[in-house]
């Protein structure tokens, strides 16, 4: 078997990072030295791409990974409801003239009358306008309506030029039907940092769909912006687990002491609550706070059920440690891969509580970390990387 230490040294990564990548590429057909070669080549290729991309390597871990948001999907859904709810011809034409939508009226013969703003179409400075034309088919970026008509949202009607003076390519064109974004918090250090810093990392598109793991040490390539904002780059940005990165932290994310919870998680969240039964009272007490949208809470729970999902991921159901608690369980959706824990494990979860219109308590999970893991009968070892 190939000496992993020498391979890791040769390609300039830690042995832990190499081992982690080997586990990711190992399959029934790819094992042993072949898995080592593939893992090493992947890591070496990533290092080369990062060096050429102008991005910066950041070591640390994601401490908040909220659910993704799809602003385009929400905007299309809202406009669809407006147009399906008896919008008059005058209202439709006003939306077109004001640069909100491009509208396609079904002529009943396979063609459509297209209503649009010619100033946006021609990339001129915005001014109200209503122009028409005949089209033989609908574009890809459109939403059909109940009456057979269709529309597209205008992606940008405000800035036809960028600050640099170049044309804004989003100006006047149809907005995509999906536009996923995910804004995460990353605690770590970049090449230019001398101490731990809390960064806001913004993912878009495919990177936002996946979402990085929480409270797992590793490294990632990002573009640094102002005010501790960082941005992903498609095809290059990819989080790589590396337990060696745990050395930059003063200790594990959480420890329960006689004086209560201590560690990175208690320091970062707004409040550490006693259990799921405390989420409702916390929401009621703080929902009117000025900083409500920036608040997060944490609590310790127990894994009570694990279900495989059709896409290869997992649904992990957790509940209160207190057997007398009547708080409902919550589900955590995890991506593909082997789970390093089993039913009965205790974990800390972080996130935001909220309530439905029926006054039922819900919890949006921002992150989780295994506090006291029970290993599955056949799986990798429990989460590593933290000094005990």
pLDDT tens digits, one per residue of 195-216: 999 999 999 887 888 788 999 9
Nearest to 369 by CA among 352, 353, 386: 386
- C-alpha 108/C-alpha 144 separation (Å) is 14
Query: Distance between terminal CA atoms of the chain?
Result: 30
Per-residue pLDDT of 268-325, as tens digits, reads 999 999 999 999 999 999 999 999 999 999 999 999 999 998 877 899 999 999 988 9
- C-alpha 279/C-alpha 218 separation (Å) is 31
Average pLDDT, the chain: 89
pLDDT at 296: 95
Inter-CA distances, 351 with 189, 294, 300, Å: 24, 10, 12
- What residue spans define the domains of the chain? 1-53, 71-153, 255-372
Name the band, by pLDDT with cuts 50, 70 and 90, for residue 241: confident
Return the percentage of the chain with pLDDT > 90, whole number.
62
Q: Answer yes or no: is pLDDT of 380 > 70.
A: no
Residue 258 dihedral angles phi and psi, to the nearest 5°: -60, -25
Contact 275, 320 (CB under 8 A): yes
Q: Answer yes or no: is pLDDT of 352 > 90.
A: yes
Q: Answer yes or no: is pLDDT of 14 > 90.
A: no
pLDDT at 382: 43
- C-alpha 23/C-alpha 38 separation (Å) is 11
Q: Answer yes or no: is pLDDT of 385 > 50.
A: no
Topology of domain 255-372 in CATH is OB fold (Dihydrolipoamide Acetyltransferase, E2P) (2.40.50)
Q: Cα angle at 231 between 228 and 235, to 5 degrees?
A: 155
Counting every residue written for the chain, the total comes to 388
Per-residue pLDDT of 116-138, as tens digits, reads 999 999 999 999 999 999 999 99
Q: Answer yes or no: is pLDDT of 53 > 80.
A: no
Per-residue pLDDT of 62-89, as tens digits, reads 999 999 999 999 999 999 999 999 899 9
Inter-CA distances, 135 with 107, 111, 113, 296, 304, Å: 10, 6, 6, 50, 56
pLDDT at 122: 93
pLDDT at 328: 92
Work out whether the CA dihedral 140, 145, 149, 154 comes out positive or negative.
negative
- C-alpha 62/C-alpha 385 separation (Å) is 15
What is the pTM for the complete model shown? 0.75
Q: Scan for tokens 């390519």, then name that residue.
A: 169
Give the number of other CB atoms < 10 A from CB of residue 313. Answer: 15
């Amino acid at each position: 078997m190939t000496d992993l230490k020498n391979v890791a040294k040769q390609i300039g990564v830690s042995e832990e990072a190499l081992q982690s990548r080997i586990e990711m590429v190992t399959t029934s057909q790819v094992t042993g030295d072949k898995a080592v070669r593939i893992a090493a080549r992947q890591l070496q290729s990533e290092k080369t791409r990062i060096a050429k991309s102008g991005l910066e390597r950041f070591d640390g871990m994601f401490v908040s990974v909220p659910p993704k948001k799809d602003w385009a999907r929400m905007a299309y859904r809202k406009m669809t409801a407006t147009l399906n709810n008896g919008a008059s011809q005058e209202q439709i034409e006003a939306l077109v003239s004001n640069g909100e939508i491009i509208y396609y009226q079904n002529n009943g013969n396979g063609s459509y009358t297209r209503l649009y703003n010619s100033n946006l179409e021609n990339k001129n400075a915005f001014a109200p306008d209503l122009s028409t034309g005949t089209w033989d088919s609908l574009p890809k970026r459109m939403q059909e309506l109940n009456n057979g008509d269709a529309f597209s949202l205008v992606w940008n009607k405000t800035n036809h030029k960028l600050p640099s003076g170049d044309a804004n390519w989003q100006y006047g064109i149809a907005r995509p039907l999906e536009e996923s974004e995910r804004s995460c918090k990353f605690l770590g250090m970049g090449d230019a940092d001398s101490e731990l810093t809390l960064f806001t990392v913004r993912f878009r598109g495919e990177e936002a769909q996946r979402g990085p793991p929480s409270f797992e040490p590793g490294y990632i390539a990002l573009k640094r912006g102002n005010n501790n904002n960082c941005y992903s780059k498609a095809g290059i940005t990819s989080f790589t687990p590396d337990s060696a990165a745990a050395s930059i932290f003063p200790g594990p994310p959480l420890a329960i002491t006689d004086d209560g919870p201590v560690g990175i998680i208690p320091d970062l969240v707004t409040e550490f609550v006693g259990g799921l039964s405390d989420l409702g009272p916390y929401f009621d007490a703080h929902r009117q706070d000025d900083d409500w949208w920036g608040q997060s809470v944490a609590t310790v729970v127990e894994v009570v059920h694990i279900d495989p999902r059709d896409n290869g991921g997992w649904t992990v159901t957790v509940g209160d440690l207190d057997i007398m608690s009547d708080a409902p369980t919550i589900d955590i959706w995890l991506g593909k891969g082997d789970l390093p824990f089993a039913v009965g494990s205790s974990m800390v979860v972080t996130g935001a509580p909220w309530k439905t219109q029926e006054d039922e308590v819900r919890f949006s999970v921002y992150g989780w970390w295994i506090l006291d893991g029970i290993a599955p009968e056949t799986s990798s070892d429990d989460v590593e990387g933290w000094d005990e």
